[in-house]
A and B are shown apart, each in its own frame.
Chain A
Amino acid sequence: MSRAETAGRVSPLWTFGLFRSELLTTFRRWRTLALLGVLAAVPVLVGVAVRIETGGDGSAGGGGGGGPAFISQITNNGLFLVFTALAVTLPFFLPMAVGVVAGDAVAGEANAGTLRYLLVAPAGRSRLLLTKYATVMAFCLVATLVVALSALITGALLFPLGDPTTISGTRIGFAEGLVRALLIALVVALSLIGVAALGLFVSTLTNSGIAAMATTVGLLTTVQILDQLPQLHALHPYLFSHHWLSFADLMREPVYWDDLTKNLGLQALYAAVFGSAAWARFTARDITA
């Protein structure tokens, strides 16, 4: 009892220690590193494809405006590869990686039989869950930054850099362009917290890590499909993926905030609903493994 109370008093440090050890465990996994590697490869792939396609002469304007957002500007300004790479990875690669990590967070431990031992430590279940969620969110941020950085490096190597033109037609300085790229990366990372919370909730439901990951990725795909059906128009504003591409609004001049705030609000709502559902489930469940 006295030990627990001592632990309770030094809890901020303790929580930090728990968070650090969780982070280390997560980022030392080969699986996590492989996921990050795949994410880093996507911008390189896009960059090389665009480079080969245009032959590097920078004149092909992407004719007709097909393809992912911003792709027609890449040849003229490598900075745009950051935006294109995020637009390409956000619908599937990024949330899938987050779904894998989030789905594994609790169920994986239960599956490996390590969850009991974690709970033996005087941390409390709520705090353990919070730490898990914080770790998943840290992964969201790291994954997004990996994509953005890889895109920036690839863009700088393959294409010229310069003052970018916003999609409203005005020109901004390169430094401001970088700031906006960073802001966009942050918004993209925040766009993923809804999926992260959903994945964590699914993870508390089962003892099988694989089942939790598969369910999360399955739900993700289902939601994306629902978002494509015009008949379900009324439902769309409530799907967590619906406003994802609104990050592009940060490249307007002035910035168009309507959809951005809608997106962030929706993510916060998903985080609150599924986060508390995960808490309700996790704190009340029998841990047998």
Chain B
Amino acid sequence: MAPYESDDMTTAGEADEPRSRRRRAARYVVPVTVMGVAAATIGLVPALADSGDPDLPEITAAQLIEKIAASDVEQLSGTVKITTDLGLPDLGGLEDSLASGAAGSGAGEDGSSADPSAKLTELASGTHTLRVAADGPDRQKLSLLENAAEYSLIHNGKDVWGYDSKSNAVHHSTVEESAKDREHQPPATPKDFAEEALKAVDDTTSVTVDGTAQVAGRDAYKLVVKPRQSGSTVGAISIAVDHRTGMPLKFTLTPASGGAAVVDVGFTEVSFDKPAASTFEFTPPKGAEVTEDSAPEHGRKHSAKPEKAPKSQEDLAKGLDGLKMLGEGWNSVATFDSGSEGGLPTGEAGGDLDGFLGSLGDQVKGDFGTGTVFSTRLINALITDDGTVYVGAVTKDALVKAADAGK
């Protein structure tokens, strides 16, 4: 009789009002319970999944670094999550317009949305999901997942295809030496970042193995790289290294000032099986707009530069020829003469941009004179009024000190 109990209840309700009201209210326990269970599951599952660092044999930091260096993973596929929070002011559309303006003046011929260098600069801020696949040095694929669209960079033999599914645009270029090309790509996988970080390891650095962790379902060692000196804005770099292949699976850079990581790149899913050959096959879809990179030399040189440099940055790049390094290790500060009197190297486009940039920085005074400091969470830059630029991953005080010493 169970299905009809409700019908009985409504008639009985008239005779026994308070009791029935209680019973009615009791029914709402069901949805509330469902909601409670759901909330508990959402809260608990990550905690449960996190628990239990794997047991792995002890290893020294030196051995671990060697392991990374010896790692020769050629075949893999996986999903990478990359989060960057440089603390740059959110320029939004302005950034885009600067970049496209530079694309017009700098590159001249192509403003294709499938141009790799234009597309991968997007990685410099926010959270992105990437898919990577590799099969030897000649075949790689990197896809940037977007809402209902994807940007894929496919390297197969001597062809490099960039495909932007949103606008159905294709960018094509060719390379002769496959391995070379890869180095010109901006870093995107934890491995690329880890290699950069380990280059900086010297006697001003403390490198330790800090236990183990699970990354993308694999057991990994955690290597922690920390600057010994004070004055650096880098707090610590943590690299999770797969215990079997020696492949870095996660890279986290936390600033000395605390807070969220500046860069956090990690696999959320990884497989070391050979990816299907069809992954690397690409023929431009019918009707797609194909931009040929007519001059490979030009293209390569172009992507090697800080990509799509706005005018002021191009000045910076020119200035880099006179680059000097002050200090050592993590506290080293790069300095060069921007060649523009009056502080800001904004080129002829200066004018209103000058005031705008000035408002972003802080005025500082020192033995070197006066200047403006531009801060991000990682990199600080000091531009003195006589046009000298000091840049480093150091605190503002350290920057001023370096400038004083450099005078």
Q: Which residues of B contact A281 (CB under 8 A)?
A: 27
Does B285 contact A165, Cβ atoms closer than 8 Å? yes
Q: Tell which of A69-77, A107-115, A150-158, A212-220 binds the partner.
A: A69-77
Given contacts A87-B148, A170-B279, contact A273 B27 (CB under 8 A): no
Nearest-neighbour CB distance to chain B for A51, whole angstroms, equals 14
**Within 8 Å of chain A (Cβ to Cβ): is B3?**
yes
In the bound complex, residues from chain B placing their C-beta under 8 Å from that of A59 are 287
Beta-carbon contact of A276 and B30 below 8 Å: yes
Q: Which residue, of B1, B143, B152, B167, has the highest number of chain A Cβ atoms within 10 A?
A: B167
B34 interface hit (Cβ, 8 Å): yes
Question: Which stretch (B62-70, B102-110, B158-166, B399-407) binds chain A?
Answer: B158-166
Contact of B10 among A65, A165, A286 (CB under 8 A): A286
Cβ contact within 8 Å between B148 and A70: yes
Tell whether, in the assembled complex, residue A62 and residue B167 are in contact, meaning their CB atoms are under 8 Å apart.
yes
Q: Report if A72-B6 is in contact (Cβ < 8 Å); known contacts: A61-B287, A64-B113, A168-B152.
A: no
Interface residues on A, range: 35 or more
| CB neighbours of A277 from chain B (8 A) | 28, 30-31
Shortest CB distance A129–B (Å): 10
Of chain B, the residue at the smallest CB distance from A129 is: B6
Q: Which residues of B contact A65 (CB under 8 A)?
A: 113, 149, 164, 166-169
Which residues of A6-46 are within 8 A (CB) of B? 8, 11
Q: A52 in the interface, Cβ–Cβ < 8 Å?
A: no
Residues B165 and A169 in contact, CB atoms below 8 Å apart: yes
- The yes or no answer to B23 lying at the interface (CB within 8 A) is yes
Residues from chain A with a CB closer than 8 A to the CB of B279 are: 170, 253
A258: chain B residues at CB < 8 Å are: 79
A73 proximity list for chain B (CB < 8 A): 165, 168, 285, 287
Is B165 a contact partner of A167 (Cβ separation < 8 A)?
yes
Check if A124 sits within 8 Å of B289, measured CB to CB.
no
Residues in B with CB closer than 8 Å to A75 are 287
Inter-subunit contact B286/A76 (CB<8 Å): yes
Which residues of chain B are near A87, meaning CB under 8 Å? 148
**Chain A residue contacts of B289, Cβ below 8 A:** 61
Closest to A164 in B: B285
CB-contacts of A158-214 with B (<8 A): 160, 162, 165, 167-171
Query: B152 touching A280 by the CB < 8 A rule?
Result: no
Beta-carbon contact of A63 and B167 below 8 Å: yes
Chain B positions within 8 Å of A279 at CB level: 27, 30
Closest Cβ–Cβ distance, residue B306 to chain A (whole Å): 25
Known: A76-B285, A76-B286. A169 touches B154 (CB 8 A): yes
For B281, the closest partner residue in chain A by CB is: A170
Residues in A neighbouring B147, C-beta threshold 8 A: 69, 245, 248
Tell me if A236 is interfacial: C-beta within 8 Å of chain B: no
Task: Indicate if the CB atoms of B167 and A169 lie closer than 8 Å.
Answer: no
A269 within 8 A of B: yes
Task: Determine the distance from Cα of A97 to Cα of B76 in the docked complex, in whole angstroms.
Answer: 45
Considering the chains assembled together, what is the distance between the CA atoms of A65 and B147 in angstroms? 12
A283 touches B6 (CB 8 A): yes
Instruction: Name B165-196 residues within 8 Å CB distance of A.
Output: 165-169
**Which of A58, A72, A284 touches B24 (beta carbons < 8 Å)?**
A284
Residues of B within 8 A of A123 (CB): 3
**Which residues of A have CB within 8 Å of B152?**
168-169
Can you identify 28 A-B contacts, CB atoms within 8 angstroms?
A4-B1, A8-B3, A59-B287, A61-B288, A61-B289, A64-B167, A70-B148, A73-B165, A76-B168, A124-B3, A124-B4, A124-B7, A126-B6, A169-B150, A169-B163, A170-B279, A171-B285, A245-B147, A256-B131, A269-B34, A272-B31, A273-B34, A274-B31, A280-B24, A283-B9, A283-B27, A284-B6, A286-B13
Which 5 A/B pairs are nearest by Cβ-Cβ distance?
A: A65-B167, A69-B148, A124-B3, A248-B148, A76-B287
Given contact pairs A61-B167, A77-B286, A256-B129, a sample of 20 additional A-B residue pairs in the complex whose CB atoms are under 8 Å apart: A61-B288, A65-B166, A65-B168, A69-B147, A76-B286, A87-B148, A119-B7, A127-B3, A168-B131, A170-B282, A248-B147, A248-B149, A252-B143, A273-B35, A274-B31, A279-B30, A280-B27, A283-B6, A286-B13, A287-B10
> Which residues of A does B touch, CB under 8 Å?
4, 8, 11, 58-59, 61-65, 69-70, 72-73, 75-77, 87, 119, 122-127, 160, 162, 165, 167-171, 245, 248, 252-253, 256, 258, 269, 272-274, 276-277, 279-281, 283-287
